Amino acid sequence: MAEGTRVEESFDRSAGEYDEILSHNRTGARRLVEAIPPGDYDEILDVGCGTGFVTEEMVRRFGTSRVTGVDPSEGMLERFRAKLTDLGAEVTLVQAGVHDMPVPDGAFDAVVSGMAFHWFPDKPGAIAAMARRLKPGGVMAVLASGTGTDAEFLDVLRAIDPPVPPGWISVFDEIQRTGDQLAGYMEDAGLEVIDAWEERRVRRTDPEAYMARINAVASHLSSGLDPDVAAAHGARVVDAVTSAAGPRGFEYAFVKLFGVARRPA
């Protein structure tokens, strides 16, 4: 099974609970949209749109009326359509990944992406693909998981014996980036960086809620394993996270990565 298919199926499974489990993403989406310069953003493209946290904020702040949501997960797209239609937007859905999305170049006032960029395999190529879809003067805004997110969980994984699958550990370096790296990708794509920054928060939650978030966003990392083997590894991870938790729950850092840039007019 191809990696892209595993990711798609993972998010299909979590679509119904995503908004509740990943409620912190709403706050990040609001912070991202607040950083976009004032302007007319009547038509936007949301890449890796998920259930639409960022586009919701675009509609609320700028009155965006036409939105195109791109995501490989059919379940996420249906949630996106329902929410944005309720807000009065005209919605177009495209089931695709960032590198093969059949949407026109130079057609959008803004291209946004919320908590999907870290899963894009070719990150510079993804930024370039999104930049091409901007009108001259259009704005790109990206929210992602930054370097240092879940570092405490990574420490837990590394300490488990016998070891967990190596991909569960190597994925941290594969997906996470810094603000400087994101800004560099934007500049290489011909954009003028308005701002790129990171915000680090320390959170505490009960182990069950923490693992629900991990399973909602990363269950595809187990898809290539025998189900019984994956379940055995998963049970040991739950036990380890529970053991690492203190009186106030499992403590972990979450680094949100933000980037806002403009295509030259």
Distance CA 160, CA 150 (A): 16
Backbone phi and psi for residue 214, each to the nearest 5 degrees, phi listed first: -60, -45
- Per the prediction, the chain carries an average pLDDT of 91
The residue type at 148: G
The candidate with the shortest Cα–Cα distance to 223, out of 165, 160, 158, 174, is 165
Superfamily of segment(s) 3-149+174-202+254-262: Vaccinia Virus protein VP39 (3.40.50.150)
Give the sign of the dihedral formed by CA 146, CA 3, CA 214, CA 76: positive
- Give mean pLDDT, residues 68-86: 95
Distance CA 58, CA 84 (A): 10
Tens of pLDDT, residues 89-121: 999 999 999 999 999 999 999 999 999 999 999
- Give mean pLDDT, residues 161-182: 95
Tens of pLDDT, residues 209-264: 999 889 888 878 888 889 999 999 999 999 999 999 999 999 999 999 999 999 99
- Whole-number Cα distances in Å, 161 to 150, 157, 237, 244, 261: 20, 9, 10, 15, 44
Domain boundaries, the chain: 3-149+174-202+254-262
**pLDDT at residue 24 tops 80:** no
**pLDDT at residue 135 tops 80:** yes
Give me the pLDDT at residue 219, please.
79
C-beta of residue 159 within 8 angstroms of C-beta of residue 168:
no
Give the sign of the dihedral formed by CA 183, CA 187, CA 188, CA 189: positive
Beta-bridge partners for 146: 177
Classify burial at 196, counting beta carbons within 10 Å of its beta carbon; exposed 0-12, middle 13-18, buried 19 or more.
buried
